[in-house]
């Protein structure tokens, strides 16, 4: 069963999303919840605006990635809770944990495949590219700063509902499997949790509403993963409340996920 987190990383990046209007509010609310679960450090928001390498707002994304890497390296953390931000915040976190835990497994709980590269993405939005980046297809300046790619055999999707042609081609090329709830990872595991995997009828505080997963089922799954193995990382992304009232209501779900990550 998992222990408390060594580091809570507040990573309020919004630049990777194509629908980013409410992400800063969501990231702040998520960080406020997650701060109860460990010592917190925040990735500064970049003011850079330029595109590059086929990615919208690349300069800001790359600057924030570098800041996150520096915080993670200096922390020495072996267990990291991350409050995003868009999905691409998990690249630096998973890379760090993959260096620390040689046999790390990754469970990507998300309604989307996130397997585009700059060459295949129809939008250039980087939050649709983190899985491809982690498996060796990051833009060259980022690739040079990453460690070994994630082993596809240790990667599992859960909850995916949609993708474009590039996403599906990527999943087939790497033979990325879906998590079998009856065969959960037994060693160190990181859980990426994109809130848009949730049924919007239950959790409407989202920019993208493609998910179908019930809240109780989601919390139970994270708790089972934490109990079956050693949950060393949880990243929560894409919280997009339209106002402070929605932020407060949605934060209750985030608190449940954090507790479940500790097996509670």
Digit-coded pLDDT (tens) for 156-207:
999 999 999 999 999 999 999 999 999 999 999 999 999 999 999 999 999 9
Q: Which residues contact 143 (CB under 8 A, 6 or more apart)?
A: 133, 136, 137
Q: Identify which of 48, 31, 177 has the alpha carbon closest to the alpha carbon of residue 113.
A: 177
* 31-48 b/e (C-beta count within 10 Å ≥ 16 → b): bbbbeebbebbbbebbee
In percent, the amount of the chain with pLDDT more than 90 equals 98
CA distances from 109 to 79, 105, 106, 131, 255 (A): 18, 13, 9, 12, 17
The average pLDDT across 61-81 equals 98
The average pLDDT across 223-230 equals 97
Q: What is the rounded CA–CA span in Å between residue 80 and residue 78?
A: 7
Q: Encoding tokens for residue 196?
A: 């848009």
For residue 99, report the phi and psi dihedrals to the nearest 5 degrees. Answer: -75, -35
- Whole-number pLDDT of residue 4: 86
Q: The dihedral of CA 72, 46, 51, 30: what is its sign?
A: positive
Tens-digit pLDDT profile for residues 92-133: 999 999 999 989 999 999 999 999 999 999 999 999 999 999
Q: Does domain 7-261 have CATH number 3.40.800.10?
A: yes
The average pLDDT across 223-235 equals 97
- Whole-number pLDDT of residue 3: 58
Q: Mean pLDDT of all residues in the chain? A: 97
Tens-digit pLDDT profile for residues 135-164: 999 999 999 999 999 999 999 999 999 999
Determine the Cα angle at 220 with ends 111 and 260, to 5°: 100
Q: Are 181 and 225 in contact (CB under 8 A)?
A: no
Domain ranges in the chain are 7-261
Query: pLDDT band at residue 1, thresholds of 50, 70 and 90?
Result: very low
Largest CA distance in the chain: 45
Q: Encoding tokens for residue 264?
A: 């509670």
- Whole-number pLDDT of residue 141: 98
């Amino acid at each position: 069963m998992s222990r408390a987190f060594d580091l809570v990383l507040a990573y309020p990046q919004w630049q990777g999303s194509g629908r980013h209007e409410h992400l800063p509010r969501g990231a702040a609310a998520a960080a406020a919840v997650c701060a109860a679960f460990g010592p917190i450090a925040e990735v500064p928001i970049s003011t850079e605006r330029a595109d590059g390498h086929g990615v919208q707002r690349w300069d800001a994304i790359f600057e924030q990635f570098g800041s996150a890497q520096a915080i993670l390296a200096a922390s020495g953390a072996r267990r990291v809770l991350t409050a995003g931000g868009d999905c691409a915040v998990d690249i630096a976190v998973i890379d760090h944990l993959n260096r620390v835990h040689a046999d790390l497994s990754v469970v990507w709980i998300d309604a989307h495949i996130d397997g585009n590269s700059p060459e295949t993405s129809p939008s250039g939005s980087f939050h649709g590219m983190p899985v491809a980046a982690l498996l060796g297809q990051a833009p060259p300046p980022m690739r040079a700063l990453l460690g070994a790619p994630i082993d596809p055999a240790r990667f599992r999707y859960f909850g995916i509902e949609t993708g474009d042609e590039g996403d599906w081609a990527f999943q087939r090329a790497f033979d990325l499997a879906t998590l079998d709830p009856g065969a959960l990872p037994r060693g160190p595991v990181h859980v990426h949790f994109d809130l848009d995997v949730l049924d919007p009828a239950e959790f409407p505080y989202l920019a993208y509403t493609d998910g179908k997963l019930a809240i109780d089922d989601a919390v139970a799954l994270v708790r089972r993963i934490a109990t079956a193995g050693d949950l060393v990382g949880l990243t929560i992304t894409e919280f997009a409340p339209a106002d402070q009232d929605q932020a407060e209501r949605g934060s209750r779900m985030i608190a449940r996920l954090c507790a479940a990550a500790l097996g509670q």
